[in-house]
């Protein structure tokens, strides 16, 4: 059970701190300049964690297993990071921006899961997305 829960707890904790950091990037700073520091720190942390958690394999051996995904992920992460920074600079409140994107993302990922990975499209999943969208309406209704 712990091996099932801790990754989600890590994501929740990391995402909470991440949203705070994205909101606190100085308004006048170029988002991409900020991201160069973010990725340098991330690369160093990843390198240290590779050696701390590694199974004895060399990093070059691991690089030999690469496919397209880490390269595309690198580009996509830049889009995610810049998108959040610019959303907060545009005035999105931290209390709603994440909920809005999460509700929309849930619908997209439901479709992706069904089409690419043949995950079942159950009524409760569809109902969950509809409830999220209704929640968005309620949150933004003035």
Contact 94, 20 (CB under 8 A): yes
Q: What is the per-residue pLDDT for 141?
A: 78
Q: Mind listing the pLDDT tens digit for each residue in 80-98?
A: 999 999 999 999 999 889 9
Q: What is the per-residue pLDDT for 115?
A: 96
Confidence at 27, pLDDT banded by 50, 70, 90: very high
Give the separation between CA 138 and CA 132, rounded to whole angstroms.
10
pLDDT surpasses 90 at 2: no
pLDDT surpasses 80 at 109: yes
pLDDT surpasses 70 at 49: yes
C-alpha distance from residue 33 to each of 23, 36, 101, 118 (Å): 15, 5, 24, 40
pLDDT surpasses 70 at 142: no
Contact 25, 88 (CB under 8 A): yes
Give the separation between CA 121 and CA 125, rounded to whole angstroms.
7
Q: Mind listing the pLDDT tens digit for each residue in 32-41?
A: 999 999 999 9
Contact 81, 35 (CB under 8 A): yes
pLDDT surpasses 80 at 16: yes
Scanning the chain, the segments in alpha helix (DSSP H) are 2-24, 31-53, 59-63, 69-89, 94-117, 123-140
Give the separation between CA 32 and CA 108, rounded to whole angstroms.
27
């Amino acid at each position: 059970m712990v091996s099932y829960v801790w990754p989600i707890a890590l994501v929740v904790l990391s995402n909470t701190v991440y949203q705070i950091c994205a909101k606190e990037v100085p308004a006048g700073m170029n988002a991409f300049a900020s991201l160069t520091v973010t990725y340098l720190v991330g690369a160093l942390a990843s390198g240290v964690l590779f050696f701390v958690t590694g199974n004895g394999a060399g990093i070059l051996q691991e690089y030999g297993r690469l496919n397209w995904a880490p390269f595309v992920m690198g580009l996509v992460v830049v889009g995610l990071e810049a998108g959040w920074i610019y959303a907060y600079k545009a005035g999105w409140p931290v209390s709603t921006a994440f909920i809005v994107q999460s509700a929309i993302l849930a619908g997209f990922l439901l479709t992706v899961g069904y089409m690419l990975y043949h995950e079942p499209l159950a009524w409760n999943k569809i109902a969950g997305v509809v409830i999220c969208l209704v929640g968005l309406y309620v949150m933004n209704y003035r």
